[in-house]
Amino acid sequence: VSEDLNTQFRSQTTRHDAINIKILNAGAWARGSERVSVSLPLELEDYIPEVEEFYKKKHSGRKLQWYHHMSNGTITFANNTGRFDLDVTTFQMAVLFAWNQRPNEKVSYENLRLATELPDPELRRTLWSLVAFPKLKRQLLVYEPAISNPKDFTENTLFWVNQEFAIIKNGKPQRRGKVNLVGRLQLSTERSQQEDNQSIVQLRILRTQEAIIKIMKMRKRLSNAALQAELVDILKNMFLPSKKMIKEQLEWLIEHKYMRRDDDDINTFIYMA
């Protein structure tokens, strides 16, 4: 089923080589499997409504549920040494994309938690796979202070991209290559997972609302596109808000009279004191 679906989907999208859809039978695969929320990179998030709309047309009445912990992908990583293809889990991808707009910055554990929305156990496990992968002599991420167990990460532990990362063969760094970082990462089943995620979501909502109000208070009148651009610029050091979250918070702020839409242009917002 998945192969036929992929063939049909690829014939209808210009980005046909970038995605491979796997449709699984819920009874056979998802029973007893907990879904783990994660804030996807925008590049992946944009695919979801496109895939769902396509699937709905083919199978009326069926609904897709996304199990991101079963997914993986290949990304290209470039640094001072060379370019490398990395096979990563969706969780690893979400973490690595936190540096997409700030490749040389040090990012705290707390900010990564906020950026990815991963529950604490999954974030610790994922980060450990990127800073202490057994098969690599040069790790993808570097951190401080040094620890020997991912449980010892604190909110203030700092992580940054290793610009000297390379694949070492015969004692020499290679300028090209491919690395499989997926390994055998297993999901945690700790009960605090849901509570952790809810607290992160609420904090992101609050930060998004605060940033929108700050922008509108200063600008007074702003187009939707300009507002979103400024919003992303303000929040990028903490997290990248999803399009859905931005839309929901704009509607909430309009409903609560913090701002309104222009009478002549619904894509322009006006600040209300």
Q: Indicate whether this model's pTM tops 0.75.
A: no
pLDDT of 249:
92
Report the domain count for the chain: 3
Band the pLDDT of 262: cuts 50, 70, 90: very high
Q: What is the pLDDT of residues 148-189, one digit of tens each?
A: 899 999 999 999 999 999 999 988 999 999 998 886 554 444
Whether residue 77 sits in one domain with residue 23:
no
- 89 shares its domain with 170: yes
Instruction: Give the pLDDT band (50/70/90) at residue 238.
Output: confident
CATH number of the structural domain spanning residue 114: 3.30.230.130
Average pLDDT over residues 186-215: 70
191 confidence band (pLDDT: 50, 70, 90): very low
Task: Mark which of 28, 49, 69 sits at the end of a domain.
Answer: 69
Question: Mind listing the pLDDT tens digit for each residue in 98-141?
Answer: 998 888 999 999 999 999 999 999 999 999 999 998 888 899 99
Domain residues for the domain of 48 are 2-69
Q: Both 62 and 93 in a single domain? A: no
Is the same domain home to 60 and 85? no
CATH number at residue 227: 1.10.10.10
Is residue 189 assigned to a domain?
no
Over the chain, what HEC string results? Answer: CHHHHHHHHHCCCCCHHHCCCCCCCHHHHCCCCCCCCCCCCHHHHCHHHHHHHHHHHHCCCCCCCCCHHHCEEEEEEECCCCEEEEEEEHHHHHHHHHHCCCCCCCEEHHHHHHHHCCCHHHHHHHHHHHHCCCCCCCCCEEEECCCCCHHHCCCCCEEEECCCCCEEECCEEECEEEEECCCCCCCCCCCCHHHHHHHHHHHHHHHHHHHHHHHHHHHCEEEHHHHHHHHHHHHCCCCCCCHHHHHHHHHHHHHCCCEEEECCEEEEEEECC
Last residue of a domain, one of 129, 158, 180: 180
Average pLDDT over residues 1-13: 69
Same domain, 149 and 228: no
Same domain, 176 and 200: no
| pLDDT tens string 59-97 | 777 778 787 877 888 999 998 889 999 999 999 999 999
Domain end (from 69, 98, 124): 69
